[in-house]
Structure 1
Amino acid sequence: MPTISEDSISQRSSQFSGEDANFEQLMVSMLDERDKLMDSLRETQERLGETEAKLSEVEKERDSLQRQISANLPQVE
């Protein structure tokens, strides 16, 4: 049986360690990107909540103004 040369074993292990390092870097990059996306989502949800609250205030103001207009316009019969 032919023997396995030590050079080919070390080449293979360095190839795997290089692939492992690339995979690890890819995973770190993906996790960083996920964190950025989660932060962006949180900020967007906060802005949406603020916008919905402002919309509610504006709708109440509109309704109040419509009531005032209706109360002050002469009634046509």
Structure 2
Amino acid sequence: MNDGDPSVPEAGTYAVDYRDGSVGQVMGCEGGLVQLRPLGGGREWDCPPEKVGEAPPGEVLRERVRELNRQGQARPR
């Protein structure tokens, strides 16, 4: 879903938003912007294509662990 632009990651892959280092799953492109969703789900955000790039596997893993930790802390005891 990168409309032939090799600089835009494919839908379903993981990407990093260079503006703040956030990692998300690429949901698609709309209005010239890349739409990313947090790995644990939630609200999508838009990122200019020049500010997004493929997320290294280590960053994806770190973000998944952070999300699991957040979920574990949210459970009532």
TM-score range normalised by the length of the shorter chain: under 0.3
Normalised by the length of structure 1, the TM-score is: 0.28
Flag the structure with more relative contact order, 1 or 2, with Cα contacts below 8 A and sequence separation at least 6: 2
Q: Which has the higher helix share?
A: 1
More strand per residue: 2
Larger radius of gyration: 1
Normalising by structure 2, we get a TM-score of 0.28
